[in-house]
Amino acid sequence: GAGVSQSPSNKVTEKGKDVELRCDPISGHTALYWYRQRLGQGLEFLIYFQGNSAPDKSGLPSDRFSAERTGESVSTLTIQRTQQEDSAVYLCASSLELRASDEQFFGPGTRLTVL
Amino acid sequence: AQRVTQPEKLLSVFKGAPVELKCNYSYSGSPELFWYVQYSRQRLQLLLRHISRESIKGFTADLNKGETSFHLKKPFAQEEDSAMYYCALDGMNSGYSTLTFGKGTMLLVSP
C-alpha cells in the first residue's frame, strides 16, 4: 500500500513538555529505523527495531528519548522534558529485513520545534 | 567509527554542465555505499548503491577503496536534478544495518 507515514507532520511544543512521534512503516517490513536531522547537520541515526525489539539503544541522544514498537508495525518515539536542542526533523524509515542490501524507505518526517 | 564526509554544502552549475558531488568515507571494513536524494517537498529516497553498479537518471558513482571515495557524477546536469544529495555508508555494525549519512550537498542546476 502506501509508503511510510509519520505523524504529526509538524509539532511545536514548549520546553519541558513531553512529545510523542509516530511512525507507520510499510506493511510487512520487519526493520524500522529512526533518524534525526538538525538544521545544517546530516541525518543522525537514533535507533532501529527488528520486529518489536530494539537491541541497541546507544544511538539515542539521552535518557529523555525512548522508542517502542508494537505488533511489528507502528513505532513511537517519545521525548520527555523537551529541550530546545531537540528541535529537528525526525525521520522514520523501514526496510523488508535488517540487511544492508534492503532499501530503506523513508517517511516524510516530523518537524519538531521546541520553544 | 564510521564517518561520511561531503565537503560541499552547495554546488551550483548550469544546465548541461558536468556534475561531481564528492563523498569520502572512513570505515575499517568493507562498507556498502549509497546515494540518497531529496527533491523539493519530497521524501528522502534511494538514488543508487555501489553494489548495483547501475546508472540512475544518468548518475553514476564508483567506489574507490584506495581513496575511500564514492563520488556521484553526471556528465550533463538537468534542471530537474536540483535537489539535496546525501551520501550514506552502511557498515553493518554488529551485523545489523544502520546508515551513517553525510551532511548533504545541495545541487542547484540553473537554466
pLDDT digits over B59-87, tens only?
999 899 899 999 999 999 999 999 999 99
Choose among A88, A65, A63, A90: nearest CA to A78. A65
- Minimum-distance CB partner of B98 among A45, A106, A107: A45
% of chain A with per-residue pLDDT over 90: 77
Query: Which residues in chain A have Cβ-Cβ distances shorter than 8 Å to B45?
Result: 105-106
Question: What is the least distance, in Å, from the CA of B65 to any CA of chain A?
Answer: 18
Q: In this structure, what C-alpha cell is assigned to residue A52?
A: 518489536
Secondary structure (3-state) at B84: strand
* Residues B90 and B75: beta-carbon distance below 8 Å: no
How many Cα atoms are found within 13 Å in the side-chain-facing hemisphere of A75? 34
Q: What is the pLDDT of residues B47-61, one digit of tens each?
A: 998 877 788 899 999
- Residue in chain A closest to B33 (alpha carbons) equals A100
Residue B43 burial by CB count (10 A; 0-12/13-18/19+): exposed, middle or buried? middle
Do B97 and A99 count as a contact with CB atoms less than 8 A apart? yes
Average model confidence (pLDDT) across chain A: 93
Do A41 and B103 count as a contact with CB atoms less than 8 A apart? yes
| The dihedral formed by the CA atoms of A13, A48, A26 and A22, expressed in degrees to the nearest 10 | -20
